[in-house]
Amino acid sequence: MWLEDLASANVNIFTKISAWFKARFIRPSDVQGDPDAPTMVLFTSGSEGAPKGVVLSGANIVANRNQLVAAIDFCPKDVLMNAMPMFHTYGSAIGTMVPLLTGMKSFYYPTPLHYRIIPAIAYEIDATVILGTDTFLYGFARNAHPFDFYRVRYVPASGERVRERTKRLWNDKFGIRLLEGYGSTEAGVIAGNTALNFNTETMGRLLPGISARIDPVPGINEGGRCYLKGPNVMLGYLKADKPGVVQPPEDGWYDTGDIIHVDEYGFMTIKGRARRFAKIGGEMVSLTALEEEVERLWPGIRHAVVSVHDERKGEQLLVVTMKEDAARNELAAHMKKRGYAEFSIPKKIMIVPNLPLLGSGKVNYPELAELVAKQ
């Protein structure tokens, strides 16, 4: 259904007047319905496998809005600039539901890729909140005039690790501190840095009302597999093996699939995806951590690290990069200097013109695996 067709066919002056009266005078007791019934279906990004339908109830959505507003002082005077798609956790939870349920003004732009246009719009509408992933926020900042975000007070960031260069650029150019957080399609926004509780090296603390369980993983010394429970956690998955059947999380605990470390103050750090660990010579190696090291050596260029089958060691590490002159000896020297053991240093480098990406800006690993297999 195209919204513009729906509007032209069904929305007239009488519809608008009726909606205006309902919005101002309807009472909660007048609304009939089950808050625990399925209300929204979002789909996981499919960055590691087939996408799954995530079924959220009205209670899940309202709970996550309340958790966010309890941690960050969003208010009706705010103006939110949202270029994130609604299938993205932040685009849905903060970008859509918080304004609707808080009375904030919001401006929706259809794509986050127009790096020059979005900052100009933010200036024109006096935006106080703007959303993005690391990729998009870096693009906005590079193309924006230093005064474009003059009224912005909060920039929640999630979807991928926010790199140091992005944080530094926003701080130096606009005097704005990025609030890196952690979310998932299955539970909305889960944790985040706030003005009160801030640690730039982490994803922040859990939002109110969410419980976390960290289960140890063999071979991983710091952190463990994270499970979550709370009123914001989904009703369940829709999967291809049982079409139309909602499959709830076991005992109410949602398996994030992330390896997370929680420090003594409650700040959370992602060490990697459980699936994104390779076993090399009997040792567990985080592919996410290796990607961060490659980024540290060659900043400003897209890289990915994957594991491929190896007859002798079971798995072998491969760097896929867009850097045209990437050299393995340079990478090995850098990683040895950083204290990495020989077995954890990628043995091969594959240079590509472009890495396959999802709509959210994250690397599409299933497509990347196919590309590597063909090469």
Question: Per-domain residue ranges for the chain?
Answer: 34-271, 281-374
Q: Give pLDDT, residue 255.
A: 92
Percent of the chain with pLDDT over 70: 94
pLDDT band for position 47 (cuts 50, 70, 90): low
CATH fold of 281-374: GMP Synthetase; Chain A, domain 3 (3.30.300)
Nearest to 116 by CA among 142, 80, 86, 88: 142
Residue 182 confidence (pLDDT): 94
Give the least confident one: 126-130, 229-233, 307-311.
Answer: 307-311
- Please determine, for residue 6, whether its predicted confidence score (pLDDT) is greater than 70: yes
Contact 37, 353 (CB under 8 A): no
Q: Whole-model pTM?
A: 0.77
The pLDDT assigned to 308 comes to 82
> Looking at residue 301, what is its pLDDT?
85
pLDDT(249) > 70? yes
For 170-195, the pLDDT digits (tens) are: 999 999 999 999 999 999 999 999 99
Sheet containing strand 179-184, edge to edge, reads 156-157, 179-184, 188-192, 205-206
Tokens standing for residue 73: 């002082």
The tens digit of pLDDT for each residue in 110-134 reads: 999 999 999 999 999 999 999 999 9
Tally of CB atoms within 10 A around 68:
25
How does the average pLDDT of the chain come out, rounded?
89
- 235, 246 Cβ separation under 8 angstroms: yes
pLDDT, residue 109, reads 95
Q: CA separation (Å) from 220 to 161, 216, 225, 271?
A: 20, 8, 10, 10
At 296 the pLDDT is 87
The residue to which tokens 């985040």 are assigned = 192
Taking the alpha carbons at both ends of the chain, their separation in whole angstroms is 40
- Whether the per-residue pLDDT at 312 is higher than 80: the answer is no
CA distances 267 to 81, 324, 334, Å, are 27, 38, 29
Distance CA 25, CA 274 (A): 49
Q: In this structure, are residues 61 and 233 in contact, taking their beta carbons and an 8 Å threshold?
A: no
Q: What is the mean pLDDT of residues 228-248?
A: 93
Using CA atoms of 84, 167, 175, 190 in order, give the dihedral in degrees to the nearest 10: 50
- Position with higher pLDDT, 283 vs 336: 336
Q: Of 210, 104, 95, 65, whose CA–CA distance to 157 is shortest?
A: 95
Give the per-residue pLDDT at 93. Answer: 93
pLDDT at 281: 57
Q: What is the pLDDT of residue 276?
A: 73
Name the band, by pLDDT with cuts 50, 70 and 90, for residue 365.
Answer: confident
Per CATH, which fold does 34-271 belong to? Rossmann fold (3.40.50)
